[in-house]
């Protein structure tokens, strides 16, 4: 059960960064009068930037250097974000008229909501698979703020340890 909560949390975390980046990119591209393809490229790029940034912040707050946090996040989140972006953009492209809908049109927001929901469902098993093998979000989990001096982690190399199977001092994985 803990693995499912961690996978859902990791996927929701990824979805948040992707949604912020995509919507910001679409707003910027639209405001600048860019083509649909150029705007989509910006939105995808910003989805990765915001996804990585949101994952890095708790690690830096937990005491890691920005460089170390980014190294962990790149290893932990890239597959999840990539899965989400591929599915999200494929769904938007498949909805008739969605690519041409403006930000003020309901079709845009309906397509975006549908696309992000389906992308969540696609990325969830990716995160569950990675977590079950001590990869993905498990690489970053032990470094989040609130884990103090990592009591109970002595002797474990965090990059190889399956964090989905042991309790942290807080006794929960929610919020990670």
126-174: pLDDT as tens digits: 999 988 888 776 667 666 544 443 333 333 333 433 443 333 333 333 3
- Within 26-150, strands assigned E span none
pTM over 0.85: no
Residue 73 lies in domain: 2-149+156-165
> Does any domain span residue 175?
no
Which of 57-71, 76-90, 160-174 has the least mean pLDDT? Answer: 160-174
In a domain, 93, yes or no: yes
In a domain, 57, yes or no: yes
27 pLDDT above the threshold of 60: yes
What values do phi and psi take at 111, rounded to 5? -65, -40
Instruction: Give the gyration radius of the chain's Cα atoms.
Output: 17
In Å, the largest CA–CA distance within the chain is 56
The C-alpha atoms of residue 77 and residue 141 are separated, in whole angstroms, by: 12
Residue 83, pLDDT > 60, answer yes
Q: Would 173 be classed as within a structural domain? A: no
Number of domains in the chain: 1
Instruction: Using pLDDT thresholds of 50, 70 and 90, give the confidence band for residue 110.
Output: very high
pLDDT over threshold 70, residue 40: yes
Is 35 domain-assigned? yes
Q: How many CA atoms lie within 13 A of 102 on its CB side?
A: 6
Vertex 11 angle, CA 121 and 119, to 5°: 35
Supply 145's token pair.
Answer: 């703020």
Torsions phi, psi for 136 (to 5 deg): 60, -135
Mean pLDDT of all residues belonging to the chain: 80
* Residues 8-28, mean pLDDT to the nearest whole number: 91
Q: Is residue 172 part of a domain?
A: no
Domain-embedded: residue 176 = no
Classify residue 82: in a domain, yes or no.
yes
User: Whose CA is closest to 176, among 97, 69, 58, 71?
Assistant: 58
Better pLDDT: 6 or 161: 6
Residue range 31-54: mean pLDDT, rounded: 93
Q: What pLDDT does residue 141 have? A: 64
Q: Assess contact for 15 and 120: CB atoms under 8 A.
A: yes
Q: Which pair of structure tokens corresponds to residue 169?
A: 């001092």
């Amino acid at each position: 059960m803990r693995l499912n909560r961690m996978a859902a949390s990791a996927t929701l975390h990824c979805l948040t960064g992707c949604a912020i980046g995509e919507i910001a990119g679409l707003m910027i591209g639209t405001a600048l009068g860019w083509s649909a393809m150029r705007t989509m490229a910006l939105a995808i790029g910003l989805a990765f930037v915001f996804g990585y940034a949101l994952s890095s912040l708790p690690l830096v707050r937990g005491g890691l250097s920005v460089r170390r946090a980014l190294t962990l996040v790149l290893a932990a989140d890239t597959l999840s974000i990539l899965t989400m972006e591929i599915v999200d953009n494929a769904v938007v492209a498949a909805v008739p008229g969605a690519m041409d809908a403006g930000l003020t049109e309901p079709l845009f927001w309906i397509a975006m909501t549908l696309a992000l929901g389906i992308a969540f469902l696609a990325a969830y098993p990716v995160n569950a698979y990675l977590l079950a093998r001590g990869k993905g979000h498990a690489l970053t989990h032990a470094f989040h703020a609130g884990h103090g001096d990592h009591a109970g982690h002595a002797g474990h190399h965090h990059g190889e340890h399956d964090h989905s199977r042991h309790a942290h001092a807080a006794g929960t994985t929610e919020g990670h």
